[in-house]
Structure 1
Amino acid sequence: MLMLLKLLECRAVRLGLLLLVAFSCMRLSGSVLAGSFSVSPIRVTLSAGQKIMALRVINSGATPVSIQLELFSWMQEQGADRYSPTNELLAMPPIFTVAPGESQVVRIGLRRAPDPQRELSYRLFLQELPAPLPKGFQGLQVALRLGVPVFVTSSAPTAPQLQWRLRRTSKGLVLSTINQGNAQGHVSGLQLLLRNGKIMTLQDPVYVLAGVRREWPLEGIVSLPIGELVELSAKVNEKDVTSQLRVE
């Protein structure tokens, strides 16, 4: 299964959490009714040369699933994702039903010119529409909501440029990065190698959009003196990145 999440990636609700909630509710109510669908690919990139891209939505469940498409402009503020409705993209068909074991092709189209200087970011949400409940059903009905990142590349060359810092603040030790490039950076496998040989894995994959600052508070995790040298390693857009950081 490619993806079974309420939200995908940066700020996503993971399948494990969904199953935990479902199991807890099952203990209380007796049963849980939930659909199951996935999408491929898991991100969309559009450009002036490719204004339309197709996705395939697959119903891996045992019952039909009805889905509504919603498009939003995507920003990040103070480490949180912010969404607002947009008409700069088009998704077709807007509402559809997929039979068990079948799939539906969804097309995403660009309705504006790319920005000449920077990458544009959006999210396509696939919202499951609740099905009529079986007669006499008592329990919890879970409607899945899945989010797919959509990026529109600039007509100029685009690339992320992440600058990292490790500093002491009034709230404790904080690792931060600011993306000074003009395109998103997808950060995964983020780790700190301490001088004593200990390796700290900080977070699961996250997007850092162009011009955005993101922080990872380390209070209660590790305490390092000012001037301590730490090695950072990560993958940014699937490329290995390493950096020597000194605690400020």
Structure 2
Amino acid sequence: MVALRSASSAGRIILAAAILALAGARTAESQQTTGGLMVEPVGVVFARGQTSAVLHIENQTGRDVAFQVRPYSWSQAGGVDQLTVTDELAVSPPIGHIRTGTKQVVRLVLRRPAEEQEAAYRILLDQVPPPRQPGTVNFAFRFSIPVFAEPAATAHAAPRVSWSLQPAGGEYYLVAVNRGTRHDEFSDIALTAADGRAIAIDESGSPYVLPGATRRWRILSKGFSPSGQTLRVTAHAESGPVDQPLAGP
């Protein structure tokens, strides 16, 4: 679940009921397909000094498709992905139609460069379903595309992630804190005991840890307690492999 914040009413939080189809997609992939709609790339990075980029949408659904594109600022306050309406990133066109078998280019324009650390955004690209006909069910697809802008004030932005175990509400969590100036992305996260026993964790949700943010993965193994144990966390990360011991809280 992702929280959407309105820029004009920051205290009002609307929980997005729709599934973000590409929330967990790795940026190394160049294209994603949902229901005959293809979007590339699935992740955008604005290099230092770059202010424009493009998305390509291809319609192979067999019918004309209406779409809407909206930019959001992306944060992880409290370890929860939150999207806030922003004017720092512009999209053109914000709405349109794509005839079947054709492509549409959507242009992204960065209006405000990042300064001290990388800025993070998400583009929500929604299919607008046609009017419902009696006896039919319409399915609308949503793509959630991560967009990152490298900071102008830092010669080489990099993540700096530390790992720990923390208790909360009678449960334990594997916690990653990013004190760097760039995001990191994790997959195949594993927590193991000294005897090689695997500790189950909940890997659902976004694989990203934004700069200055914290991500938590709930430990699922029943009766788990880190007391007196030597544990180890391993993972694949965009910045390189993770393999380090963990001390209990």
Task: Give the TM-score of the pair, scaled to structure 1.
Answer: 0.80
Distance 1:188 1:221 in 2: 23
Q: CA deviation at 1:107?
A: 1.4
Q: CA deviation at 1:10?
A: 5.0
1:112 alignment partner, SS class: coil
Q: CA deviation at 1:63?
A: 1.0
Distance 1:169 1:48, change over 3 A: closer
Q: CA deviation at 1:201?
A: 5.6
One-letter amino acid of the counterpart of residue 160, structure 1: P
Distance 1:168 1:228, change over 3 A: farther
More moved, 52-61 vs 196-205 = 196-205
- Structure with greater Cα Rg: 1
CA deviations on 1:58-78 (whole Å, 9 max, x unpaired) are: 212111111111011111122
Distance 1:63 1:240 in 2: 44
1:63, 1:100 within 8 Å by CA — same for their partners in 2? Answer: yes
1:140 alignment partner, SS class: coil
Distance 1:149 1:226 in 2: 38
> RMSD across aligned C-alpha pairs, in angstroms?
2.3
Q: For residue 138 of structure 1, what is the aligned residue in structure 2?
A: 135
In structure 1, stretches of 5+ residues that fail to align are 12-33
CA deviations on 1:17-60 (whole Å, 9 max, x unpaired) are: xxxxxxxxxxxxxxxxx964121111111134321111111212
Aligned residues: 219
Q: For residue 50 of structure 1, what is the aligned residue in structure 2?
A: 50
Distance 1:85 1:240, change over 3 A: same
1:239 aligns with 2:234: no
One-letter amino acid of the counterpart of residue 22, structure 2: L
Distance 1:238 1:64 in 2: 41
Q: For residue 15 of structure 1, what is the aligned residue in structure 2?
A: none
Task: Give the TM-score of the pair, scaled to structure 2.
Answer: 0.79
Q: CA deviation at 1:238?
A: 5.7
Q: For residue 18 of structure 1, what is the aligned residue in structure 2?
A: none
Distance 1:194 1:144, change over 3 A: same
CA deviations on 1:168-204 (whole Å, 9 max, x unpaired) are: 4551322111111111111111111222322346315
Alignment of 1:71-220 (within 5 A): 71-115=71-115, 117-134=116-133, 137-155=134-152, 156=154, 157-169=156-168, 171-200=170-199, 202=201, 203-204=203-204, 206-218=207-219, 220=221
One-letter amino acid of the counterpart of residue 229, structure 1: T
CA deviations on 1:210-232 (whole Å, 9 max, x unpaired) are: 11112222254452341311111
One-letter amino acid of the counterpart of residue 219, structure 2: L
CA deviations on 1:140-177 (whole Å, 9 max, x unpaired) are: 22211211011110020211111100244551322111
Q: For residue 229 of structure 1, what is the aligned residue in structure 2?
A: 230
One-letter amino acid of the counterpart of residue 125, structure 2: L
Higher helix share: 1
Q: For residue 23 of structure 2, what is the aligned residue in structure 1?
A: 9
In structure 2, stretches of 5+ residues that fail to align are 1-18, 26-33
One-letter amino acid of the counterpart of residue 192, structure 1: L
Distance 1:119 1:49 in 2: 13
One-letter amino acid of the counterpart of residue 172, structure 1: E
Runs of 4+ off more than 6 Å: none
Q: CA deviation at 1:89?
A: 1.2
Q: CA deviation at 1:95?
A: 1.4
